[in-house]
Structure 1
């Protein structure tokens, strides 16, 4: 993927930087909060290179990229100021007001997204370590175990510090003041007070709870901090507010947490963990079936982030998370369904999508390429995956299986499930989750898509490649009646982004205008093409153009034909929209599969369909 090209195309498609209130990214998606939805060119965004799909959920316009979303996000940061915006920078003047659920999901997504990979990576290390002890490969009394355990446990142990940073960014609070507050939560002498009776603060009784790995207290307190900072900055003299503000906030908010917020959040976390535990104890198969069946639906609507705090609450309270186990069935079921598509389909393009999507799902637990690229568009495979997730998830939870670390559900994360519950039920549940959707997809099947353009019947059809890097638009949109009306032939126009014109197919140069503004090409099968750089640019007399070929020269597809200065031509008052047309319509009366949106030179632009094929068809 050309990250810069994808970034530019997506940003233009959503209406430009000026139409974006905020931008964050999660594991696979760019999440935009848009000011004016009517300015989004949804077709152009979907056509952007590297974009798997788009979705509108949680008050956000979501662009699914896949595993390479951080690189695309970084490129957007280079060409805009959006990367510095917080996800809550929305108001009545910045698009539609979001409901409470959407705002909660957006908050959780923004705060937890930067931490997910570190949580998943260290959680996977912890899972492998636990498996090594369970199977007798490592003695947990050795110093080797102590060191490895520290490496795997440190990040989630000091999770309040990490959350302080991301929450401060979201709520627009001072990050280092947030860290000072979070540091007090996990300070060794404070941690040692957990469970100690008769603790007081200036005579006020304190019920000390554990803040190690906690989530709710630091998020709540940073939210309060953000409001208190803004108040103090308006009231304190400029000479002292920079250091007095953090002093007051630490001195007031930390004791407030110990006295009220901490015990209350501990009660809430314990209640949530207890409620989840009750469901998975009384009706474990039902809890597993629901999570296994609906998890990928939650992913589609971006609602899955709401479960991250619940899992961390479970881990903090009990050291286990029952919510996590059935998610493995949900994820592997969709990966199995897309594998079935790869086996059954006769469509080459679909096979090329299905293979990497299957690997991504099985190994990394990232199912968006499978869902958006294959299963959901085909409908039945997605349904088969849900069926596998329901049955497999129910069996896994019926066996009392739980995770002992936060990991991404995938084949690599399985060791996190080995320490609690029935390994036999885990294996059977996963086997069913994989086999059911795979067999349903292969045997019952789905409607296999027919390629948009059939193979040439007589060998004279011609795939015309894009000669430019830019944006493809219908010829009818060219602001010139001759081209737009098709008087010179049919084709596609391109608004160039780079001033370099390349050969769209192997050809003989039959016309090379000295002015460099237009060039005529002829294919060996007889197709003739005209590429006209800009409109009325012949009036420039060759200024700002540099012709690289001459009449009678043979060129190969991708050879450089002309270089031109877009900025100078535009400054001179000329439109650089470039029609690419077939000029012998009697032999090639129609075109197929015209491109739309961002294109790079060498991409398929359209298919010139020969008269002979039309007659046979």
Structure 2
């Protein structure tokens, strides 16, 4: 087992000493710090430490990439520093002191959606597979679909919808649970609240548009009537209700004695929230969500959609740096609920590919630099599988020109994608596997967009390096392939 004492000591010194550490923890590959004064951390010295594979700052945390041995390194660091490790949630909480209001809002949004994204990805893959077997006519089957010609695949198609419906139609349950978990309130109440938004007693949200006003069921309280409308697949109504429940529970716990809190806190939290969800929050949230999705869809469907696609593709990677990209999850899901698909997700997948292709060009340009390849090769693979942060912070922003090359390539691919109305069934796996989330009629054009997202960033990165465009930090020894300081 490697001895990390020396490198841990160097990191402690270069980060500004133990007095500069407000909180520290680690994830799968990185040390995560909340620093008293981030300016005291000497990034250049830290990145020269043998064990360190890169640094970046995100969401108020200074993160140091170590690799798979980070738990061992972390233990050595804590022994030397005397800092007691804390949980990731505690680090996130401490990191908020370094964030502005917008960053905090985006961090909250990220924390709400992060736990449910794996389910949404599975749902996207299931929808994609069901479309292939159930909606695409096959030439070798005389123009019929696989489902139409096979009892087995018809059964598979029907069975998979059980999972797809649970994920997308009952999405509000996941959102209200996640909010309760994030806020530290009673999670089962969050689940119950979500169920009350999608109960079979209610008129299904997908049936509202085709139901006459006089036929909509309602609760009659004598002095008032409340429509019994469900919020299947709706994001904003669920978020509004979830946060009301959480804040109401937190407020009630301040006044209700602990001896009776188990009885009265759940009752006076849940009942008013469910009532307000159907009376006020749900209708308002539905209108807000519909308005947002309509604006985005109008931009995507307008005669200037190519410009919208180019700008979104170009600017998505900078959004990742700021954390604002998390807002696209809610917009994607709202577009799926309102229009049956999303045009944003294909461009996000293409942006992932573009950043990975820029790193691939750096690997090619810096071939022989074994030290950097420990970061660049895993970062490129990660991008092609949909996770761009290691590439953006570890390589592309370090040299600048590959980052800009990737932005341009992503913009071009986004322009073509939007121009041809490439639509995804839902959020799915990013990067190269992103094609699995695309509606079948758009497979070919999306494959062309993927090729653009590979070729253009790679070519521009090589050209920018050769002609010194946007390049100030990458003098290379052409014989060794190593960076010359």
| TM-score above 0.5 | yes
Residue 561 (structure 1) aligns with: none
Offset at residue 124 of structure 1 (A): 2.5
- TM-score with structure 2 setting the length: 0.78
Q: Which secondary structure does the structure 1 equivalent of 2:225 belong to? A: strand
Query: For 2:296, which of 268, 276, 280 is the aligned residue?
Result: 276
Residue 401 (structure 2) aligns with: 380
Q: 1:252 to 1:31 in 2, by over 3 A?
A: farther
- State which drifts further: 402-411 or 167-176: 167-176
Query: For 2:388, which of 367, 377, 394 is the aligned residue?
Result: 367
1:200 matched to 2:200? The reply is no
Query: For 2:415, which of 391, 394, 404 is the aligned residue?
Result: 394
Alpha-carbon distance in structure 2 between the residues aligned to 1:442 and 1:51:
23
Offset at residue 281 of structure 1 (A): 0.5
Larger Rg: 1
Offset at residue 427 of structure 1 (A): 3.1
Query: For 1:428, which of 434, 448, 452 is the aligned residue?
Result: 448
Query: For 1:292, which of 308, 313, 320 is the aligned residue?
Result: 313
Alpha-carbon distance in structure 2 between the residues aligned to 1:81 and 1:225:
28
Alpha-carbon distance in structure 1 between the residues aligned to 2:130 and 2:285:
31
Alpha-carbon distance in structure 2 between the residues aligned to 1:168 and 1:11:
37
Q: Which secondary structure does the structure 1 equivalent of 2:414 belong to? A: helix
Mapping for residues 183-332 of structure 1, pairs under 5 Å? 183-190=195-202, 192=204, 195=208, 197-203=216-222, 204-282=224-302, 283-332=304-353
Residue 181 (structure 1) aligns with: 193
Q: Which secondary structure does the structure 1 equivalent of 2:216 belong to? A: coil
Residue 504 (structure 1) aligns with: none
1:411 matched to 2:432? The reply is yes
- State which drifts further: 387-396 or 221-230: 221-230
Offset at residue 432 of structure 1 (A): 2.1
Alpha-carbon distance in structure 1 between the residues aligned to 2:427 and 2:54:
27
Given that 1:21 and 1:33 are in contact with CA atoms closer than 8 Å, whether structure 2 keeps it comes out as yes
Task: String of CA shifts for 1:401-444, please: whole Å, max 9, x gaps.
Answer: 11112113211120212336x44432332222221222233455
Given that 2:310 and 2:415 are in contact with CA atoms closer than 8 Å, whether structure 1 keeps it comes out as yes
**Pairwise CA RMSD:** 4.1
Alpha-carbon distance in structure 2 between the residues aligned to 1:103 and 1:390:
28
Mapping for residues 427-576 of structure 1, pairs under 5 Å? 427-443=447-463, 445-446=465-466, 449-450=475-476
Residue 587 (structure 1) aligns with: none
Q: Which secondary structure does the structure 2 equivalent of 1:407 belong to? A: coil
Residue 118 (structure 2) aligns with: 117
Alpha-carbon distance in structure 1 between the residues aligned to 2:376 and 2:405:
15
- TM-score with structure 1 setting the length: 0.63
Residue 380 (structure 2) aligns with: 358
In the alignment, structure 2 segments of 5+ residues that lack a partner are 139-144, 209-214, 469-473
Query: For 1:163, which of 146, 167, 175 is the aligned residue?
Result: 175
Offset at residue 454 of structure 1 (A): 8.2
Mapping for residues 68-79 of structure 1, pairs under 5 Å? none
Q: Which secondary structure does the structure 2 equivalent of 1:212 belong to? A: coil
Given that 2:179 and 2:246 are in contact with CA atoms closer than 8 Å, whether structure 1 keeps it comes out as no
> Greater strand share, 1 or 2?
1
Tell me the number of residue pairs that the alignment of Structure 1 and Structure 2 aligns: 447
Alpha-carbon distance in structure 2 between the residues aligned to 1:280 and 1:89:
39
Q: 1:317 to 1:23 in 2, by over 3 A?
A: farther
Q: Which secondary structure does the structure 1 equivalent of 2:427 belong to? A: coil
Q: 1:89 to 1:375 in 2, by over 3 A?
A: closer
> Greater helix share, 1 or 2?
2
Alpha-carbon distance in structure 1 between the residues aligned to 2:160 and 2:402:
41
In the alignment, structure 1 segments of 5+ residues that lack a partner are 456-592, 594-617
Given that 1:396 and 1:426 are in contact with CA atoms closer than 8 Å, whether structure 2 keeps it comes out as yes
Given that 1:35 and 1:95 are in contact with CA atoms closer than 8 Å, whether structure 2 keeps it comes out as no
Residue 141 (structure 2) aligns with: none
